[in-house]
Amino acid sequence: MPMPLTLQQANTLIVDDFQSMRTMLRDFVKSMGMTRVETACHGKDAISHLAESRYDIVLCDYNLGPGANGQQVLEEARTRNLIGVSTIWVIVTAEKTADMVMGAAEIKPDDYLLKPINQVLLQSRLEKLIARKQSLGGVENAIRAKDFGGALAQCDLLLRMQSANPHEVLRIKSDLLLTLGDFEAARGVFDSVLAQRSVAWAKTGMGKVLFHTGDPAGAATLFEQVLAENQMYIEAADWLAKTHEALGDTVRAQQVLQDAIKLSPNSPLRQKKLGDTALKNGELDVAQTAFEKTIKISEFSAHKNPAVYAKLAEVLVDKGESSEALNVLKRSKTDFRYNSAAALQTAAAETRIYQKLGQTDKAQAALASAEQLATQLGDKLSPDLMLELAKSQLKMGHKDKACQLLGQVVKNDHENAQLSSEIEAIFDAENLAGEGQALIKAARQEVIDINNQGVLLAQQGQFEQGAKLLREAVKKLPSSEVMLVNLCGLLIAQMTKSGYKEALASEARELLERVHTLNPGNKKFYSYSLVLARLQRT
């Protein structure tokens, strides 16, 4: 949907918990000539509207009373793709506290207006925003259709036409390139911007490129430079912490996160990361505080996560507060009562807690419940949940079951070094380091052997035999990004040689969709999508 050229054509949503404010803002925008204006009185109501209709402009208060605040509504709208790059989102609020201002700034609304406001000011801001945003409709349409090549082409077209908002277009283009894993092209964008002047988003983006291309030390230097120039650019702090962790310095990573949280404490993802990092460092008090804060600020957020409850409970047990730990898990059961994955997370944590407390019968019952839930979830069982269940199985002496599960995790993502390190840590905790290393090595080799055999068959022109082999592998390893990509590549190679076949192309597209769901940054997604489109045209 291209952005309307005038305010009069805009479809607008006003979100405020006070009727008088909703009425005033509605009168303002109607006086500007807008005719399509709807209102919402709280966060849940706003999300319902956004899920049902596409809005060009959203005027949203920060404090919306009980439930989600304006920051959380914007986060959820983005997470669920209810708004796009051409949507104008303005925070309109009387809130002036530093925590709120930093939190709102981090989620990057298009503008931020302090009450009281008047019609002249609002109209002036909206007209400027429309002038900046109206060219982005084509980019948004392509992104929604997952036509990332088309989105990049739209960005290039806007830049050639000397768009009124070149930096915004360059930023969108660089984000697309990073998502697609085209780091060299992204580097080119950042270089072009930084050649003119030091810009925080471009320098941070260059740091991301260095991180993803194997230079974490160089990335850390850039992130530190960004923070030295502007300590309020908190995204650079998050990446600096991530980089220190990749370099093995979790103590420094924790300090960076703590410094960032002093400036902006209302990010549930950052608070959770601090809790995770502090837990690795044995800083139980810091971990407890961070997990408790995460639960509090994510109560009405899209980032509400049962794993945080489980981790908080285990921290409390380690501190000798077992009754409080069980209360936390009880609350998790209530808060996520219709969520099977959350129930499994809680049952796995209960298993370990009851085992630590010496209540074996309750631990066994909790483990049985977790295993039953895992069976029900089937292919929807995430790697994180598989790790949690395996940890509980090892604690209860069910080593064979745990090894089978952990082997599956490795095979699904055999090139993920961080995941392998987490699995090694699980075995280390049970004094089984040697067995863990052997399991990881064997699982990796099994995947490599299957891939090599499939590649060999394709090279010999035995496409059907190769496809049969990889299809069987995909059935056994439905979350293996490598297997999905290789099967897709084999099908494309078969069509390149023998001609386009809709059945094979449809299968390849479905494989790419699964790859994109697992990892939006997979490098092959973009290139294979282009090849499929070309094959279909020939």
* CATH code of residue 50: 3.40.50.2300
> Do 150 and 247 sit in the same domain of this protein?
yes
* 82 within domain boundaries: yes
* 462 within domain boundaries: yes
Q: Which of 122-136, 179-193, 280-294, 342-356 has the lowest mean pLDDT?
A: 122-136
With a cut of 70, say whether residue 141 has pLDDT above it: yes
pLDDT of 385 = 96
Letter for the amino acid at 172? I
* 432 within domain boundaries: no
> Do 166 and 197 sit in the same domain of this protein?
yes
* 172 within domain boundaries: yes
* 277 within domain boundaries: no
> Do 84 and 129 sit in the same domain of this protein?
yes
* 395 within domain boundaries: no
Q: Could you tell me the pLDDT band of residue 534, with boundaries at 50, 70 and 90?
A: confident
State the distance between the two ends of the chain, measured CA to CA, in whole angstroms.
30
Query: Do strands 88-93 and 111-114 pair parallel, antiparallel, or not at all (unpaired)?
Result: parallel
Distance CA 391, CA 341 (A): 16
> Do 163 and 244 sit in the same domain of this protein?
yes
List C-alpha distances in Å: 403 to 50, 61, 241, 423, 430. Answer: 45, 51, 32, 10, 13
Of 254, 280, 301, the domain-final residue = 254
Which string of b and e fits 382-413 if b means at least 16 CB within 10 Å? ebebbbbbbbbbbbbebeebbbebbbbbbbbb
> Do 211 and 128 sit in the same domain of this protein?
no
* 223 within domain boundaries: yes
Higher-pLDDT residue of 430, 520: 430
Report the pLDDT averaged over residues 424-433: 92
> Do 216 and 245 sit in the same domain of this protein?
yes
Q: Could you tell me the pLDDT band of residue 291, with boundaries at 50, 70 and 90?
A: very high
pLDDT of 530 = 83
User: What residues make up the domain containing 61?
Assistant: 7-135
CB 488 within 8 A of CB 515: yes
Q: Could you tell me the pLDDT band of residue 99, with boundaries at 50, 70 and 90?
A: low
pLDDT of 100 = 67
Report the pLDDT averaged over residues 274-298: 97
Letter for the amino acid at 259? D
Of 236, 254, 272, the domain-final residue = 254
Of 254, 284, 314, the domain-final residue = 254
Report the pLDDT averaged over residues 273-277: 97
Instruction: Give the DSSP per-residue string, 15-29.
Output: E-S-HHHHHHHHHHH
50: Cβ contacts below 8 Å, ≥ 6 apart: 13, 58, 77, 82, 83
**Start-end of H helices in 281-397:** 284-297, 306-318, 322-335, 340-356, 360-377, 383-395
List C-alpha distances in Å: 93 to 18, 43, 117, 316, 348. Answer: 12, 14, 9, 38, 43
What is the number of domains present in the chain?
Answer: 3
Residue 333 Rama label (left phi>0; alpha psi -120 to 50; beta) = alpha
pLDDT of 146 = 78
pLDDT of 5 = 59
* CATH number of the domain enclosing 241: 1.25.40.10
